[in-house]
């Protein structure tokens, strides 16, 4: 299997040609196909004798890849899409071909050093101290879970008699917070937002104080959202930080999508208070132009995370020294160096280019909002704060929203599945792709 053959060399060239062709032009949106349909065309691809590299690559490029929706298409504005830079995409090939292990400094010092420099940039723009540190994990769900486990460990030290542990967050917090609570077997206290749809310290303080006064349950973490997935709203982080500090509660900021806006001067003021967080996450694979999957998890006091997450076994003791081993800072041991494509792109382009690219998403959102407001059939849900624009189509039922979305994808115009806000169907554009243009937006608006 490990012998380098002419076939492997030819296959490597074919893979590179496919990758370069994809980078040079916008791939089609494509779309899903049924399992039965795919099996009918391909049959069983795993055989005793093997298909050979060339045929297997053909199966992928000609059939399987086309049954996936392209997340980096300029008119894929669904959920929070992804738009990795050419540099990050190409360097992901290097990471995959290099057999690098990113769990320990001993085995991956050079790679971990580079990842830590990328983390340091995020730490600096967030305003945390130089002693802060963290790790790249799979995604926001794993980042939030890892941080919240550390938060609970710290709370246990001061409140050992607590009956049930509780996470305080807003109803607009990401689904991963509820998922983390389920895994941890803790409760969630969902608190109403203010009239601006932000979670603020006053609302949180009242809810927590009432819980602590009437039960033996205790909040061990307050979660603020820096850019909600549905509407792109940043919570009042400064007042949340004060509320947490006054009650000696861990303050975690879920910025998986929106915290990337820290590098955009036009919206930086929205994040006041993040500098007081005990931990935060941001996903470079969302709005920082890295490929899947990469979530940056940062701790104000990383030694607390190390106390919680370091795994112990006879075969691991050689790693337990003063070196920075990424496996010590989250719920993982084996890990790929998933932060390296982000580091490479950031180092190659420079931080100014990142600021400009994020600002472009904000500009697109504002211009799109203007066109939607002027459209006779559409109504804005609210003015965009970051790069998400939510709106409704007058007179449509929920089924009509879905029918429009299905037709849009079938015609390969765009991918815009409906969402909901306040119980009503809405459409939303999530701009994270610098290659999206207003011509792309207008093409979609013309169908409404």
Averaged in consecutive runs of 10 residues, what is the pLDDT profile of the chain (448 residues)?
70 84 81 97 97 95 96 96 95 94 96 98 98 98 98 97 96 96 98 96 98 97 98 98 98 98 98 98 98 97 97 89 94 96 98 98 98 98 98 98 98 98 97 97 98
* Tens-digit pLDDT profile for residues 277-289: 999 999 999 999 9
Rounded distance between C-alpha atoms, residue 205 and residue 425, angstroms: 32
What stretch(es) of the chain map to CATH 3.90.1150.170?
Answer: 351-445
Q: Coil, strand or helix: which one is 438?
A: helix
Architecture of domain 94-349: 3-Layer(aba) Sandwich (3.40)
* Tens-digit pLDDT profile for residues 395-440: 999 999 999 999 999 999 999 999 999 999 999 999 999 999 999 9
What stretch(es) of the chain map to CATH 3.40.640.10?
Answer: 94-349
Q: Per the structure block, which two tokens stand in for 314?
A: 């006879």
- Which CATH number fits the domain 351-445, given the four candidates 3.40.1350.10, 3.40.50.2020, 3.90.1150.170, 3.90.920.10? 3.90.1150.170
Q: Coil, strand or helix: which one is 428?
A: strand
Predicted pLDDT of residue 184? 98
């Amino acid at each position: 299997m490990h012998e380098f053959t002419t076939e492997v060399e030819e296959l490597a060239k074919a893979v590179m040609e496919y990758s370069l062709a994809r980078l040079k032009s916008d791939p089609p949106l494509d779309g899903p196909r049924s399992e039965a349909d795919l099996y009918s065309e391909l049959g069983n691809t795993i055989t005793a004798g093997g298909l050979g590299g060339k045929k297997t690559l053909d199966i992928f490029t000609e059939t399987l890849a086309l049954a996936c929706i392209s997340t980096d298409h300029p008119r894929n504005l669904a959920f929070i899409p992804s738009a990795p830079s050419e540099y990050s995409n190409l360097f992901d090939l290097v990471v995959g071909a290099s057999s690098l292990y990113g769990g320990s400094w001993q085995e991956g010092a050079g790679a971990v050093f580079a990842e830590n420099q990328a983390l340091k940039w995020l730490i600096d723009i967030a305003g945390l101290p130089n002693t802060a540190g963290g790790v790249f994990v799979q995604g926001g769900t794993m980042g939030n879970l890892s941080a919240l486990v550390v938060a609970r460990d710290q709370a246990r030290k001061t409140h050992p008699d607590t009956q049930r542990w509780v996470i305080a967050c807003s109803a607009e917090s990401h689904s991963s917070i509820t998922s983390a609570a389920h895994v941890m077997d803790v409760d969630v206290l969902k608190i109403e937002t203010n009239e601006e749809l932000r979670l603020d310290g006053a609302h949180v303080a009242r809810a927590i104080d009432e819980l602590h006064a009437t039960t033996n349950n205790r909040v061990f973490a307050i979660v603020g959202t820096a850019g909600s997935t549905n509407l792109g709203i940043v919570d009042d982080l400064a007042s949340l930080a004060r509320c947490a500090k006054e009650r000696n509660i861990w303050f975690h900021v879920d910025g998986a999508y929106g915290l990337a806006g820290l590098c955009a001067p036009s919206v930086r003021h929205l994040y006041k208070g993040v500098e007081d967080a005990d931990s935060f996450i941001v996903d470079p694979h969302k709005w920082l132009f890295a490929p899947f999957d990469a979530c940056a998890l940062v701790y104000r006091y990383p030694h607390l995370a190390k106390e919680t997450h370091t795994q112990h076994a006879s075969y691991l003791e050689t790693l337990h020294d003063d070196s920075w081993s990424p496996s010590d800072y989250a719920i993982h041991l084996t890990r790929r160096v998933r932060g390296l494509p982000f580091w490479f792109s950031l180092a190659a382009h420079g931080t100014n280019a990142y600021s400009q690219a994020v600002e472009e998403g904000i500009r697109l959102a504002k211009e799109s909002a203007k066109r939607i407001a002027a459209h006779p059939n559409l109504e804005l849900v609210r003015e965009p704060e970051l790069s998400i624009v939510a709106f409704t189509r007058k007179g449509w039922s929920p089924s009509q929203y879905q029918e429009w979305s299905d037709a849009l994808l079938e015609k390969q115009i765009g991918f815009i599945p409906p969402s909901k806000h306040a119980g009503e169907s809405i459409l939303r554009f999530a701009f994270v792709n610098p290659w999206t243009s207003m011509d792309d937006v207008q093409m979609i608006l013309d169908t409404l």
